[in-house]
Amino acid sequence: MFEYREDEELIPITLRSVAADRQDIQKLDGTSIYSQSTGESLPLMQVADLSMAFEPGIIERRGRSRRLTLKAQLMPGTTATQVNNTLVPWLE
């Protein structure tokens, strides 16, 4: 997963092309992306440096058990303990 940083905010980026284009990495050069702020499309190469790298899949573990990390912005007036008390029974 890629992230874009704007000041202190990290914005996740997910890019997925149509199935026919996934077989040729060179087609990324001509991919256009839409900018909501300007209402225009521009080439991906104009805003990103593209490179291909193979990485092993990562399964995070704690105590030999798979681990899932959840990050969330809590609603005003809500505490982490309240959210935890709601989620733990549901997860179990």
Residue 48: count other Cβ atoms within 10 Å of its Cβ: 15
Kindly report the backbone phi and psi dihedral angles of residue 66, in degrees, each rounded to the nearest multiple of 5, phi listed first.
-60, 145
Count up the domains in the chain and report the number. Answer: 1
Would you say 1 and 14 are in contact if contact means Cβ atoms under 8 Å apart? Answer: yes
Measured CA to CA, the distance from residue 55 to residue 14 in angstroms comes to: 17
Q: pLDDT tens digits, residue range 18-40?
A: 777 767 777 777 778 877 778 88
Q: What's the domain range around 42?
A: 2-91
Would you say 13 and 24 are in contact if contact means Cβ atoms under 8 Å apart? Answer: no
Would you say 59 and 53 are in contact if contact means Cβ atoms under 8 Å apart? Answer: no
What local confidence, expressed as pLDDT, does residue 71 receive?
Answer: 77
Indicate the pTM of the whole model: 0.36
